[in-house]
C-alpha cells in the first residue's frame, strides 16, 4: 500500500541541495514526483546536481525515476531565472506562432538539460476581453483558435524533447474573478458555452496528444453545483475522461490553496480528489501534510476506495513514464556548464 500510495503524490520541498526532507520524501513517503520553486534554485549546475542526486536516490530506493516538475510558463511565472532563457509572458509571445515555437524549444531544451522532465504549462485558458489580475498576461489571448494554435505547437515541441507538458487549468479559468490561491472563484458558464469557447483549446490539445491535464480550483455551478473542478466527478470523469476521451494523467492544482480549504478537512479533500480520479495530488509546501497522505490512503475506511482508484490510475502513470528519455534522467553536469557559460 505504501509504495502504491506514494506514486500519486507530487510534493514541494525546501532547500537547494539533497537534504533530510528529500530523503524522507523518497525513502519514506515514496513520492511519484517533486515540484521545484525559486527557493530550490541558485544556478543551473546546482539545479542539475540536485536533480541528479534526487533521481539517483529514487532509482536506488524505488527502482523508478521521479517526475520532476516546475511552473515554467514565462513572464511572472518562471521559477528559474537567468542564465535560463527569460520567456516573455504568453500575452506577448502568443502574438506570433514562430515566437511561441522558438521559446518553447529553448525552454524544453534547458529544462531537459538540467533534469526537469515535466512542465506545468502551457496555460490553456482563454482570457476574457478584460483580463483579471489572477491570469493577467498568462494566457495566449481571447481567441480560441489562436490560443489553440499556440498550445498545439508547444505540446508538439515538448513531446519531441521528452519533457511532459501540462495543459491547465481544466475546464478553463479565464473567467475567474478571484484568485484560487486565496478563495474560491465561481464561473457561471453553461457547458454549451464552454464547448464553443474556453474548452476548444483543451479539446484540440487532447486530440494532439496532450499527456497531462492540471485541474482548476473553481466552482462551475452549471457543471457541478457542489464541488470545484478538482474534486468533481462530473467534470474530471464524466466531462474530461468520458465525453472528451482524455486517457492521460490528471494532476490537481495545489491542494493547499485557499479555494480548496472550503471543502472540508484535508482527509475529506483527499477522498474527493481520489473519487474524481486525480492521478497526482499536488502539495507544494507542507511536508507534514504530505507525510499523512499514505496513512489516509491506507486507512481501513478508505482502503477500498484507494485500491479502486490506484487500479484505474496506475496504468495512466505508467504510460506517462514511457514519454521520458531514460538517457536524460541523470543530467550531465559538464554539458550544463558548457551550455550556460
- Do the beta carbons of residue 9 and residue 34 sit within 8 Å? no
- Do the beta carbons of residue 178 and residue 219 sit within 8 Å? no
Is the dihedral angle over the CA atoms 107, 170, 286, 134 positive or is it negative?
positive
| pLDDT at position 128 | 82
| pLDDT at position 136 | 83
Residue 329 CB contacts under 8 Å (≥ 6 apart), including other chains: 55, 59, 65, 115, 117
Quote the CA–CA distance of 248 and 126 in Å, as a whole number: 22
Closest alpha carbon to 172 in 228, 88, 248, 227: 228
| pLDDT at position 131 | 61
**pLDDT tens for the chain, residues 1 to 341:** 666 899 999 999 999 999 999 999 999 999 999 999 999 999 999 999 999 999 999 999 999 999 999 999 999 999 999 999 999 999 999 999 999 999 999 999 999 999 999 999 999 999 987 766 678 899 999 999 999 999 999 999 999 999 999 999 999 999 998 889 999 999 999 999 999 999 999 999 999 999 999 999 999 999 999 999 999 999 999 999 999 999 999 999 999 999 999 899 999 999 999 999 999 999 999 999 999 998 898 887 788 889 999 999 999 999 999 999 999 999 999 999 999 99
Quote the CA–CA distance of 153 and 30 in Å, as a whole number: 34
Question: Kindly report the CA angle at 98 between 96 and 102, in degrees rounded to 5?
Answer: 120
To the query of whether residue 253 is one of the catalytic residues in this protein, the response is yes
Per-residue CA distances from 325 to 45, 191, 208 (Å): 20, 38, 20
Structurally, the chain folds into a number of domains equal to 1
DSSP one-letter code for 123: B
- Alpha helices (runs of H) in the chain, residue ranges in sequence order: 2-6, 20-24, 44-61, 90-93, 97-114, 144-160, 191-196, 200-207, 233, 258-261, 266-275, 287-298, 303-321, 333-340
Catalytic residue among 17, 27, 39, 181: 181
Cross-strand bridge partners of residue 213: 167, 250
Location of C-alpha cell 536524460: 328
Catalytic residue among 125, 224, 253, 279: 253
C-alpha cell at 144: 480560441
CATH of the domain at 156: 3.20.20.300
For residue 229, the enclosing domain spans 2-340
Residue 72, SS3 per DSSP: strand
Quote the CA–CA distance of 212 and 207 in Å, as a whole number: 12
| pLDDT at position 2 | 66
| pLDDT at position 16 | 98
**Bond preceding residue 157 cis, omega within 30 of 0:** no
Amino acid at each position: 500500500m505504501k509504495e502504491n500510495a506514494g506514486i500519486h503524490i507530487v510534493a514541494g520541498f525546501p532547500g537547494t541541495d539533497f537534504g533530510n526532507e528529500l530523503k524522507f520524501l523518497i525513502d519514506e513517503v515514496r513520492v511519484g514526483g517533486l515540484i521545484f520553486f525559486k527557493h530550490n534554485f541558485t544556478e543551473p549546475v546546482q539545479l542539475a546536481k540536485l536533480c541528479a542526486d534526487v533521481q539517483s536516490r529514487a532509482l536506488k530506493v524505488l527502482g523508478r525515476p521521479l517526475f520532476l516538475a516546475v511552473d515554467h510558463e514565462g513572464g511572472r511565472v518562471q521559477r528559474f531565472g537567468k542564465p535560463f532563457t527569460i520567456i516573455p509572458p504568453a500575452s506577448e509571445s502568443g502574438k506570433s506562432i514562430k515566437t511561441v515555437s522558438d521559446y518553447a524549444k529553448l525552454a524544453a531544451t534547458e529544462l531537459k538539460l538540467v533534469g526537469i522532465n515535466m512542465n506545468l504549462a502551457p496555460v490553456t485558458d482563454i482570457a476574457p476581453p478584460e483580463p483579471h489580475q489572477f491570469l493577467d498576461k498568462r494566457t495566449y489571448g481571447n481567441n480560441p483558435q489562436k490560443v489553440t494554435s499556440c498550445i498545439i505547437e508547444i505540446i508538439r515541441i515538448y513531446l519531441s524533447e521528452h519533457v511532459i507538458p501540462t495543459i491547465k487549468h481544466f475546464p478553463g479559468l479565464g473567467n475567474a474573478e478571484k484568485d484560487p490561491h486565496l478563495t474560491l472563484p465561481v464561473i457561471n458558464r453553461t457547458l454549451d458555452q464552454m464547448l464553443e469557447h474556453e474548452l476548444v483549446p483543451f479539446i484540440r490539445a487532447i486530440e494532439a496528444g496532450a499527456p497531462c491535464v492540471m485541474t482548476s480550483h473553481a466552482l462551475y455551478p452549471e457543471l457541478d453545483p457542489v464541488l470545484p473542478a478538482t474534486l468533481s466527478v462530473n467534470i474530471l470523469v464524466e466531462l474530461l475522461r468520458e465525453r472528451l476521451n482524455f486517457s492521460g494523467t490528471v494532476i490537481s492544482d495545489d491542494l493547499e490553496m485557499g479555494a480548496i480549504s472550503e471543502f472540508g478537512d484535508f482527509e475529506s479533500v483527499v477522498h474527493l480528489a481520489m473519487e474524481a480520479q486525480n492521478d497526482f495530488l499536488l502539495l507544494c509546501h507542507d511536508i507534514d501534510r504530505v507525510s499523512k497522505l499514505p496513512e489516509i490512503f491506507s486507512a481501513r475506511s478508505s482502503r477500498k476506495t484507494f485500491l479502486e482508484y490506484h487500479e484505474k490510475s496506475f496504468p495512466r502513470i505508467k504510460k506517462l513514464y514511457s514519454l521520458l528519455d531514460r538517457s536524460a534522467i541523470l543530467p550531465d553536469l559538464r554539458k550544463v556548464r558548457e551550455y550556460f557559460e
